[in-house]
Amino acid sequence: MAGLPKYAFFEGKIVPFSEANVSIATHALHYGTGAFGGLRGYWNADKEELYIFRPIDHFTRLLGSSKMLRMDLPYTPAQLVDILTELLRTENMREDCYIRPLIYKATPTIGVRLHNLDDQLAIFALPFGQYLEKEEGLHVTISSWRRIDDNAIPARGKITGAYINSALIVSDAKAAGFDDALVLNEDGHIAEAAAANFFIVRDGVAITPPITANILEGITRRTVIQLLREELGVEVVERNIDRTELYICDEAFSCGTGYQVAAVTRVDYRNIGTGVMGPLTSRLRDLYFDVVRGRKPKYASWLVPVYHPVREAAR
Ligand code: PMP
């Protein structure tokens, strides 16, 4: 990390980041028995406000992942939002940032299992700009790896151990000179990008794989579906996507908290559409940035302000 955070929420309280440390015998470190989230905070300079984007949805998904891991954490999503806003105020975060909550099997022990282990929550935040260098036009490949299957490791949970799958996909794609990769599920349909959900546009219809296609149930995906339908009047269909549809579709984009809305303009040396960001992707991107920075009052309920709390109304 470029600069370390000053504070973290760790073992039930906010402490200096340097004191938030775990033992090398921690269960999660050995067996991948953790789950995490990734949220963004967007700084609005006019309003001198930091907006956390859809934290209730992110924490609801995190607690869902914790259930898959047989964890019983003593927090509601709303309580986690309160902890997070207090942390961000303590950190005095006044710029765009990335927020990382992590839940993990904390017991220092040997033995692969999910039961009879202590569960802990940690959260920290750090300044963050663009995650991808080329949000305006990614050249992707189709990964030779397959997406993890729900009957092996739940893809709809954000399980730490499962991210070996994404790490293999990213590093092999980068080593081969691509910006990112799309990964097929065991059925041979496109699941998603390494750490983002995926859409194509054909004849004015936006198409994205269903949540039963071994994808993460992305908060950005949900946001984009609503914005396409409500604001841009675009039909959205959730169905399987074949890889050759990429060669004939008009536009494609990946979306996620980190990626935001990133145009995918080439796949395996073939242009997608005309090989530059398509008009619908471009309009959606502009709209997305307006929404996350608090410039669209209609969607204010998705934002939790850190410094001028009207949080009850936001829920
Ligand atoms: N798929 C995967 C595998 C991811 O890691 C992410 C990033 N969290 C996403 C999709 C997008 O999810 P979200 O929009 O909730 O960030």
Q: Which atom of ligand 1 is nearest to the CA of 220?
A: 14
Report the nearest-CA residue for atom 9 of ligand 1: 196
pLDDT band at 311 (very low <50, low <70, confident <90, very high): very low
| pLDDT tens track for 229-260 | 999 999 999 999 999 999 999 999 999 999 99
pLDDT band at 1 (very low <50, low <70, confident <90, very high): low
- Which of 99, 220, 302, when mutated, tests ligand 1's pocket best, judged by the most ligand atoms within 8 Å of its CB? 220
Contacts of the segment 303-306: beta carbons below 8 A, 24+ positions apart: 303/51, 303/52, 303/53, 303/54, 304/51, 304/52, 304/55, 304/56, 304/81, 304/85, 305/49, 305/50, 305/51, 306/41, 306/49, 306/50, 306/51, 306/52, 306/85, 306/88, 306/89, 306/93
298-311: average pLDDT: 89
| pLDDT tens track for 150-203 | 999 999 999 999 999 999 999 999 999 999 999 999 999 999 999 999 999 999
Ligand 1 pocket residues where CB is under 6 Å:
38, 166, 192, 195-197, 216, 218-221, 256-257
103-125: average pLDDT: 97
| Side chain identity at residue 18, one-letter code | S
pLDDT band at 310 (very low <50, low <70, confident <90, very high): low
pLDDT band at 14 (very low <50, low <70, confident <90, very high): very high
Q: How far apart are CA 76 and CA 90, in angstroms?
A: 21
Ligand 1 centroid to Cα of residue 18, in Å, is 28
- Considering 6, 158, 174, 296, which one is annotated as catalytic? 158
Going by C-alpha positions, the residue among 29, 27, 34, 28 that lies closest to residue 159 is 34
pLDDT band at 273 (very low <50, low <70, confident <90, very high): very high
Tokens of 211: 């949540």
Contacts of the segment 78-84: beta carbons below 8 A, 24+ positions apart: 78/315, 80/55, 80/121, 81/52, 81/55, 81/56, 81/304, 81/311, 82/311, 83/9, 83/123, 84/9, 84/39, 84/52, 84/55, 84/123, 84/125
Query: Is residue 72 scored above 80 in pLDDT?
Result: yes
Domains of the chain: 7-127 (3.30.470.10), 138-292 (3.20.10.10)
Which residue blocks in the chain are alpha helix, DSSP H? 27-31, 55-68, 77-91, 163-175, 219-230, 245-248, 279-292, 311-314
pLDDT, the chain, mean: 96
Going by C-alpha positions, the residue among 288, 217, 257, 259 that lies closest to residue 125 is 257
Query: Is residue 315 scored above 70 in pLDDT?
Result: no
Q: Which atom of ligand 1 is nearest to the CA of 58?
A: 15
DSSP class of residue 268 equals: T
Q: Is 13 a catalytic residue?
A: no
pLDDT value of position 2 = 61
Q: Which atom of ligand 1 is nearest to the CA of 216?
A: 1
Q: How far apart are CA 46 and CA 33, in angstroms?
A: 42
| Side chain identity at residue 227, one-letter code | L
Q: Is the Cβ–Cβ distance between 33 and 104 less than 8 Å? A: yes
